[in-house]
Amino acid sequence: MASNSSGSRNQLVVPQARAALQSMKMEAAQSLGVQIPADGYYGNVTSRDAGSLGGYITKKLVQIAEQQLSGR
């Protein structure tokens, strides 16, 4: 299985979105006060922090989709 720079095994449908998603992850971490591991290994990140990051990113992606669907 090919690995990517983020350490995730998820395959992006649009590989060009990687930088935008990484930026969103950094924004979420900064907003929530969560430390992003420099080595990309999330095994030491608490489940609570990882869930908070995922929830924040999902919320932002839904907002973006709603804006695009409404024509804004």
Q: How confident is the model at residue 17 (pLDDT cuts 50, 70, 90)?
A: confident
Torsions phi, psi of 32, nearest 5? Answer: -95, -5
Q: How confident is the model at residue 8 (pLDDT cuts 50, 70, 90)?
A: low
Q: What is the pTM of this model?
A: 0.71
Nearest alpha-carbon partner for 58 in 26, 28, 31: 28
